Amino acid sequence: MKRYFLELSYMGTGYAGFQRQENAKTVQSELEKALQTLLRQPVVLTGSSRTDAGVHALQNYFHFDLDVVLNERLLYNLNAVLPGDIAVRNLHLMPATAHSRFDAVSREYRYYIYRDKDPFKRDRAYYFPYQLDMESMQQAALMLMDFADFTSFSKRNTQVKTFICRLERSEWTVDGAGGLVYYVKGNRFLRGMVRALTATMLKLGRGRISLEEFRAIVASRDCTKADFAVPPHGLFLEKVNYPDLYFKG
């Protein structure tokens, strides 16, 4: 049995999320269906990082096991049968012990906000044309790296054993068109976490909570105190990182 990693990107607008669900169209179900069509046998995929309904990914990975030698021709064939909003990028033959989720050392996300109405950004960023205190938002973003427990920013009923996450970077930037981008990199993320961080910092930027109140929300470990009210289409899983030379072994 051989283990393969498949790298892909997708627009999440038309999907109920990344992971397979009953009676719902997901990225995983579309890819499994395409693989079964081409390989004429069921293929079970394991994902590196889940994304919620409507969230996009510039890079994500699956791994799967198959007793067949595959080559990069599979990429061409997959892209020919997959929907236009999913693209496969690379296929890697890996050691049998490699795991797309557990071997990943970090993930990088960006949440995009635009300030001037633009019909070409409406499904890839959040239209938020309000005055914001960027200095306070930047202080809050940096403050997050002082914490490890992010229970306050996890959706309820999530099946995780720990709410501990290690953030390596957390910052706001302004893009060339005057839009805002929240960038965060960490070893793992909880369900809804990046959107909750973004929404709560926007609340701070609007002056509806203070920096001290923001810190208290993080420390409270109470998800009812955070704000989750930003839409999914502004969020991109940008990169999944593995150890150096991971794909060259």
Active-site residues, by number, are: 52
CA distance 235 to 30: 21
Q: Residue 12: helix, strand or coil by DSSP?
A: coil
Contact 181, 113 (CB under 8 A): yes
- Our CA angle for 131, 116, 127, nearest 5°, is 75
Contact 179, 113 (CB under 8 A): yes
Contact 128, 231 (CB under 8 A): no
Q: Count H helices, E strands: the chain?
A: 5, 9
The identity of residue 81, as a single letter, is V
CA distance 49 to 108: 11
N-term to C-term CA, the chain: 18
Contact 226, 153 (CB under 8 A): yes
Residue recorded with tokens 């953030």: 167
Q: Which of 188, 184, 120, 195 is nearest to 149 (CA)?
A: 188
Contact 116, 125 (CB under 8 A): no
